[in-house]
Amino acid sequence: LRSHVGLNQTDFGARIGVKQSTIAGWETGQRIPPDSAIVSICREFHANEHWLRTGEGEMFNRTSRSEEIVQFAVQAADSGEDDFKRRFLLALARIPEDRWAEIEAFAIQLAEKNKKRIRIDFLIRFAFLWFSLLLITWQCVRLPTLAAACFHWRLPAAARSRAVSTPSIPHLSWFSLIVL
Protein backbone atom coordinates (compact mmCIF):
# COMPACT_ATOMS: atom_id res chain seq x y z
CA LEU A 1 0.00 0.00 0.00
CA ARG A 2 2.78 2.43 0.94
CA SER A 3 4.62 2.03 -2.36
CA HIS A 4 1.32 2.15 -4.27
CA VAL A 5 0.54 5.60 -2.84
CA GLY A 6 4.12 6.69 -3.61
CA LEU A 7 5.37 7.46 -0.10
CA ASN A 8 8.58 6.55 1.66
CA GLN A 9 8.42 4.98 5.12
CA THR A 10 9.00 8.30 6.91
CA ASP A 11 6.21 10.15 5.10
CA PHE A 12 3.81 7.22 5.37
CA GLY A 13 4.48 6.98 9.11
CA ALA A 14 3.99 10.72 9.56
CA ARG A 15 0.56 10.51 7.90
CA ILE A 16 -0.64 7.87 10.39
CA GLY A 17 1.34 9.05 13.42
CA VAL A 18 4.08 6.42 13.75
CA LYS A 19 7.85 6.43 13.25
CA GLN A 20 9.72 5.15 10.20
CA SER A 21 11.24 2.29 12.21
CA THR A 22 7.74 1.07 13.11
CA ILE A 23 6.75 1.01 9.43
CA ALA A 24 9.95 -0.88 8.61
CA GLY A 25 9.13 -3.45 11.31
CA TRP A 26 5.64 -3.98 9.89
CA GLU A 27 6.93 -4.37 6.34
CA THR A 28 9.61 -6.89 7.29
CA GLY A 29 7.17 -8.89 9.43
CA GLN A 30 9.08 -8.29 12.68
CA ARG A 31 6.07 -6.48 14.15
CA ILE A 32 2.33 -6.72 13.66
CA PRO A 33 0.44 -3.45 13.33
CA PRO A 34 -2.09 -2.87 16.12
CA ASP A 35 -5.77 -2.39 15.32
CA SER A 36 -5.47 1.36 15.94
CA ALA A 37 -2.77 1.61 13.25
CA ILE A 38 -4.86 -0.39 10.78
CA VAL A 39 -7.82 1.91 11.40
CA SER A 40 -5.56 4.95 10.89
CA ILE A 41 -4.20 3.54 7.62
CA CYS A 42 -7.71 2.77 6.35
CA ARG A 43 -8.96 6.24 7.29
CA GLU A 44 -5.97 8.15 5.89
CA PHE A 45 -5.53 6.23 2.63
CA HIS A 46 -9.09 4.91 2.07
CA ALA A 47 -7.69 1.39 2.24
CA ASN A 48 -9.93 -1.65 2.47
CA GLU A 49 -9.48 -3.09 5.98
CA HIS A 50 -10.19 -6.65 4.81
CA TRP A 51 -7.46 -6.35 2.14
CA LEU A 52 -5.04 -4.84 4.66
CA ARG A 53 -5.51 -7.74 7.09
CA THR A 54 -5.78 -10.64 4.62
CA GLY A 55 -4.53 -9.45 1.23
CA GLU A 56 -7.87 -10.43 -0.34
CA GLY A 57 -10.20 -8.17 -2.28
CA GLU A 58 -9.67 -4.61 -3.46
CA MET A 59 -6.81 -2.54 -2.03
CA PHE A 60 -8.94 0.60 -1.72
CA ASN A 61 -12.51 1.23 -0.67
CA ARG A 62 -14.79 2.54 -3.35
CA THR A 63 -16.45 5.73 -2.23
CA SER A 64 -19.35 7.58 -3.74
CA ARG A 65 -18.99 11.15 -4.97
CA SER A 66 -21.01 12.37 -1.99
CA GLU A 67 -18.71 10.55 0.44
CA GLU A 68 -15.65 12.03 -1.26
CA ILE A 69 -17.09 15.54 -0.99
CA VAL A 70 -17.91 15.04 2.69
CA GLN A 71 -14.43 13.64 3.41
CA PHE A 72 -12.82 16.58 1.63
CA ALA A 73 -14.97 19.07 3.53
CA VAL A 74 -14.16 17.42 6.87
CA GLN A 75 -10.42 17.46 6.09
CA ALA A 76 -10.64 21.12 5.07
CA ALA A 77 -12.60 21.99 8.21
CA ASP A 78 -9.98 20.27 10.37
CA SER A 79 -7.13 22.16 8.69
CA GLY A 80 -5.74 25.43 10.03
CA GLU A 81 -7.47 28.81 9.75
CA ASP A 82 -5.11 29.99 7.01
CA ASP A 83 -5.38 26.81 4.93
CA PHE A 84 -6.44 27.47 1.33
CA LYS A 85 -8.86 24.53 1.21
CA ARG A 86 -10.73 25.87 4.24
CA ARG A 87 -10.91 29.43 2.89
CA PHE A 88 -11.98 28.19 -0.55
CA LEU A 89 -14.78 25.99 0.81
CA LEU A 90 -15.96 28.84 3.02
CA ALA A 91 -16.10 31.13 -0.03
CA LEU A 92 -18.08 28.47 -1.94
CA ALA A 93 -20.51 28.08 0.95
CA ARG A 94 -21.20 31.82 0.93
CA ILE A 95 -22.16 32.02 -2.76
CA PRO A 96 -25.87 32.84 -3.13
CA GLU A 97 -27.97 30.13 -4.78
CA ASP A 98 -28.97 32.35 -7.70
CA ARG A 99 -25.31 32.86 -8.75
CA TRP A 100 -24.47 29.16 -9.27
CA ALA A 101 -25.89 29.05 -12.81
CA GLU A 102 -23.70 32.01 -13.77
CA ILE A 103 -20.63 30.32 -12.26
CA GLU A 104 -21.41 27.09 -14.12
CA ALA A 105 -21.72 28.96 -17.43
CA PHE A 106 -18.36 30.65 -16.80
CA ALA A 107 -16.73 27.28 -16.00
CA ILE A 108 -18.14 25.77 -19.21
CA GLN A 109 -16.84 28.73 -21.20
CA LEU A 110 -13.34 28.27 -19.72
CA ALA A 111 -13.43 24.55 -20.50
CA GLU A 112 -14.43 25.24 -24.11
CA LYS A 113 -11.55 27.73 -24.52
CA ASN A 114 -9.16 25.13 -23.14
CA LYS A 115 -10.53 22.47 -25.53
CA LYS A 116 -10.04 24.85 -28.47
CA ARG A 117 -6.49 25.57 -27.35
CA ILE A 118 -5.77 21.85 -27.11
CA ARG A 119 -7.29 21.28 -30.57
CA ILE A 120 -5.19 24.08 -32.08
CA ASP A 121 -2.02 22.69 -30.48
CA PHE A 122 -2.87 19.26 -31.88
CA LEU A 123 -3.50 20.66 -35.36
CA ILE A 124 -0.20 22.56 -35.32
CA ARG A 125 1.68 19.42 -34.28
CA PHE A 126 -0.16 17.33 -36.87
CA ALA A 127 0.60 19.85 -39.65
CA PHE A 128 4.26 19.95 -38.59
CA LEU A 129 4.48 16.15 -38.65
CA TRP A 130 2.69 15.94 -42.01
CA PHE A 131 5.00 18.56 -43.52
CA SER A 132 8.06 16.75 -42.14
CA LEU A 133 6.93 13.44 -43.60
CA LEU A 134 6.16 15.10 -46.92
CA LEU A 135 9.62 16.67 -47.00
CA ILE A 136 11.32 13.39 -46.11
CA THR A 137 9.27 11.51 -48.72
CA TRP A 138 10.10 14.08 -51.36
CA GLN A 139 13.78 13.91 -50.46
CA CYS A 140 13.80 10.09 -50.48
CA VAL A 141 12.71 10.14 -54.11
CA ARG A 142 15.86 12.11 -54.74
CA LEU A 143 17.93 9.80 -52.54
CA PRO A 144 21.20 9.52 -54.52
CA THR A 145 21.70 13.26 -54.73
CA LEU A 146 20.42 13.82 -51.20
CA ALA A 147 22.78 11.20 -49.81
CA ALA A 148 25.65 12.88 -51.59
CA ALA A 149 24.66 16.27 -50.20
CA CYS A 150 24.02 15.04 -46.66
CA PHE A 151 27.00 12.78 -46.25
CA HIS A 152 29.46 14.56 -48.55
CA TRP A 153 29.75 11.50 -50.76
CA ARG A 154 30.99 11.76 -54.29
CA LEU A 155 28.74 9.90 -56.65
CA PRO A 156 30.23 8.13 -59.65
CA ALA A 157 29.60 9.96 -62.91
CA ALA A 158 27.02 7.36 -64.03
CA ALA A 159 25.04 7.77 -60.82
CA ARG A 160 25.26 11.56 -61.03
CA SER A 161 23.74 11.49 -64.50
CA ARG A 162 20.78 9.37 -63.28
CA ALA A 163 20.19 11.44 -60.14
CA VAL A 164 17.83 14.36 -60.20
CA SER A 165 19.69 17.58 -59.73
CA THR A 166 19.36 18.96 -56.20
CA PRO A 167 21.12 22.00 -54.81
CA SER A 168 24.04 21.06 -52.62
CA ILE A 169 23.28 21.29 -48.91
CA PRO A 170 26.44 20.07 -47.22
CA HIS A 171 25.49 21.40 -43.76
CA LEU A 172 22.42 19.15 -43.45
CA SER A 173 22.29 15.56 -42.26
CA TRP A 174 19.52 12.97 -42.13
CA PHE A 175 18.99 13.90 -38.50
CA SER A 176 18.49 17.56 -39.33
CA LEU A 177 16.04 16.64 -42.10
CA ILE A 178 14.00 14.57 -39.69
CA VAL A 179 14.03 17.37 -37.11
CA LEU A 180 12.90 19.85 -39.75
Chain-centroid distance, C-alpha 121: 18
Q: Determine the Cα–Cα distance for residues 87 and 73; give it in Å rounded to an integer.
A: 11
CATH 1.10.3720.10 for domain 9-54: no
Return the pLDDT at 170. Answer: 44
DSSP 47: B
Quick one: which H or E segment has residue 110? helix 100-141
B/e letters for 24-50, b = 16+ CB within 10 Å, e = fewer, are eebeeeeeebeeebbebbbeebbbbee
Q: Report helix, strand or coil for 145.
A: helix
Average pLDDT per block of 10 residues along the chain, 180 residues long: 89 93 94 91 88 88 77 82 83 87 86 75 67 55 49 49 46 43
Reference 136, options 93, 175, 85, 80; nearest CA is 175
Within the chain, all domains assigned CATH 1.10.260.40 are found at 9-54
pLDDT given for residue 34 in this prediction = 93
Q: Which pTM value belongs to this model?
A: 0.38
What sections of the chain are H helices per DSSP? 9-16, 20-28, 35-45, 49-54, 65-78, 84-93, 100-141, 143-151, 157-162, 174-179
User: Which pLDDT value is given to residue 117?
Assistant: 72
